[in-house]
């Protein structure tokens, strides 16, 4: 087995994660398809991976739940051995709101999934990949957001703050493990046409906000997956600790 060609994509049952799974399978990666709730959709994504001649695992784990996430990594260890790649894609948003109207429980859940979940999966990946710990290297890609830079005023400053944390984390971890055979980068999507916008109370946001995008259209999940796949690949062998913006110029 080629250890470098196994990748875990978190939140891969739909949207950008699902596009990453199929794109990476097309590039020769075996894909562990993580999801939290929608097993039927995750299973369909796994079938699309297998249809391209690659292996797939379907793994339920809420990345905000440490025990479930550790069990997911243990299952990958048992079935495939050490990972060569991780895409930290699972992320949530919440109803559009001003800060003064938000409850703290919302912030805790968002930070648990978007930040702690990303750090936790990255920690487990580094423990397995690091040449410092006997591993054979690898690559990690985190999903940031244009909100990290724009701030999401009046919409979701909490989500924006969680993605700002991803940018800082990508810079720091990228430098921390650069000499240990691991590259760490992020993709920063703008307005992408996925189902995430329904959770913010604006299911048509991708279309209705297109006017604020210099290219005058939302992006597709596959346009993000293309950047993720490049960052994971050896084509990006001298790229680490950086963020690639995929936002149509926004
Ligand atoms: P999406 O369509 O809502 O899909 C989210 C995926 O994450 C689903 O597969 C969902 O699966 C999974 N998920 C949610 N919570 C999870 C958890 N706690 N543990 C594990 N999996 C979980 O979202 P998307 O638009 O593809 O976004 C993907 C990433 O890109 C996110 O990090 C998001 O913040 C970022 N992003 C998106 C946009 C955009 O415009 N779409 C822009 C900037 C950044 P289940 O339902 O099965 O749990």
Alpha-carbon distance of 159 to 76, in angstroms, equals 30
What spacing in Å lies between the alpha carbon of 48 and ligand 1's midpoint?
Answer: 19
Q: Concatenated DSSP letters for 150-166?
A: H--TTT-HHHHHHHHHH
What spacing in Å lies between the alpha carbon of 134 and ligand 1's midpoint?
Answer: 32
The answer, yes or no, to whether any atom of ligand 1 lies below 6 A from the CB of 191, is: yes
Alpha-carbon distance of 127 to 202, in angstroms, equals 39
The answer, yes or no, to whether any atom of ligand 1 lies below 6 A from the CB of 17, is: yes
* Ligand 1 nearest-atom number relative to CA 218: 40
pLDDT in tens, 188-216: 999 999 999 999 999 999 999 999 999 99
Provide the 10 A C-beta neighbour count for residue 63.
25
Looking only at the bridges linking them, the beta strands covering 56-60 and 85-88 are unpaired
Going by CA atoms, what residue is nearest to atom 31 of ligand 1? Answer: 91
Q: Which residue has the tokens 């916008």?
A: 197
Q: What is the pLDDT of residue 175?
A: 98
Average pLDDT over residues 227-245: 98
Domain count, the chain: 1
The answer, yes or no, to whether any atom of ligand 1 lies below 6 A from the CB of 14, is: yes
Residue 2 pLDDT exceeds 60: no
Q: Concatenated DSSP letters for 162-195?
A: HHHHHHHHHHHHHHHTGGGTEEEEEEEE-SB-SG
| Sheet with strand 30-35: strands edge to edge | 56-60, 30-35, 6-9, 85-88, 138-143, 182-189, 243-246
Looking only at the bridges linking them, the beta strands covering 138-143 and 182-189 are parallel
Residues β-bridged to residue 9: 33, 87
**DSSP assigned state of 113:** I
**DSSP assigned state of 115:** I
Q: What is the pLDDT of residue 107?
A: 98
Q: What is the pLDDT of residue 39?
A: 98
Alpha-carbon distance of 179 to 183, in angstroms, equals 9
Strand stretches in the chain, DSSP E: 6-9, 30-35, 56-60, 85-88, 138-143, 182-189, 243-246
With the most atoms of ligand 1 within 8 angstroms of its CB, the residue from 90, 219, 246 to mutate is 90
Average pLDDT, the chain: 97
Residue 81 pLDDT exceeds 90: yes
Q: What is the pLDDT of residue 1?
A: 42
Alpha-carbon distance of 188 to 212, in angstroms, equals 17
pLDDT in tens, 90-129: 999 999 999 999 999 999 999 999 999 999 999 999 999 9
Q: Say whether 238 is catalytic.
A: no
CATH number assigned to the domain comprising residue 16: 3.40.50.720
The answer, yes or no, to whether any atom of ligand 1 lies below 6 A from the CB of 64, is: yes
Domain of 138? 3-246
Residue 47 pLDDT exceeds 90: yes
Percent of the chain with pLDDT over 70: 98
The answer to whether 88 and 122 have CB atoms below 8 angstroms apart is yes
Nearest to 72 by CA among 5, 142, 9, 151: 9
Q: What is the pLDDT of residue 211?
A: 96
Q: What is the pLDDT of residue 4?
A: 54
The answer, yes or no, to whether any atom of ligand 1 lies below 6 A from the CB of 35, is: yes
Q: Which two tokens stand for residue 226?
A: 């293309």
């Amino acid at each position: 087995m080629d250890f470098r060609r196994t990748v875990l994509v978190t939140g891969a049952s739909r949207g950008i994660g699902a596009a990453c799974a199929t794109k990476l399978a097309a590039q020769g990666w075996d894909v562990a398809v993580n999801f939290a709730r929608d097993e039927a959709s995750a299973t369909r994504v796994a079938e699309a991976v297998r249809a391209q001649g690659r292996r797939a695992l379907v793994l339920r784990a809420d990345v905000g739940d440490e025990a479930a996430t550790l069990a997911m990594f243990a299952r990958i260890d048992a079935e495939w051995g050490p990972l060569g790649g991780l895409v930290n894609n699972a992320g949530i948003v919440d109803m559009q709101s001003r800060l003064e109207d938000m409850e703290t429980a919302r912030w805790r859940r968002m930070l648990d999934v978007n930040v702690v979940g990303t750090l936790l999966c990255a920690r487990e990946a580094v423990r397995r990949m690091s040449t410092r710990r006997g591993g054979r290297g690898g690559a990690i890609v985190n999903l940031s957001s244009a909100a990290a830079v724009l701030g999401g005023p009046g919409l979701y400053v909490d989500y924006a703050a969680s993605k700002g944390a991803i940018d800082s984390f990508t810079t720091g971890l990228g430098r921390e493990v650069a000499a240990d055979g691991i590259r760490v980068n992020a993709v920063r999507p703008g307005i992408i046409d996925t189902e995430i916008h329904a959770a913010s109370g604006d299911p048509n946001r991708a279309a209705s906000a297109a006017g604020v995008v210099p290219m005058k259209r939302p992006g597709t999940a596959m346009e993000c997956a293309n950047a993720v796949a490049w960052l994971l690949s050896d084509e990006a062998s001298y790229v680490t600790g950086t963020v690639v913006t995929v936002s149509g110029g926004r």
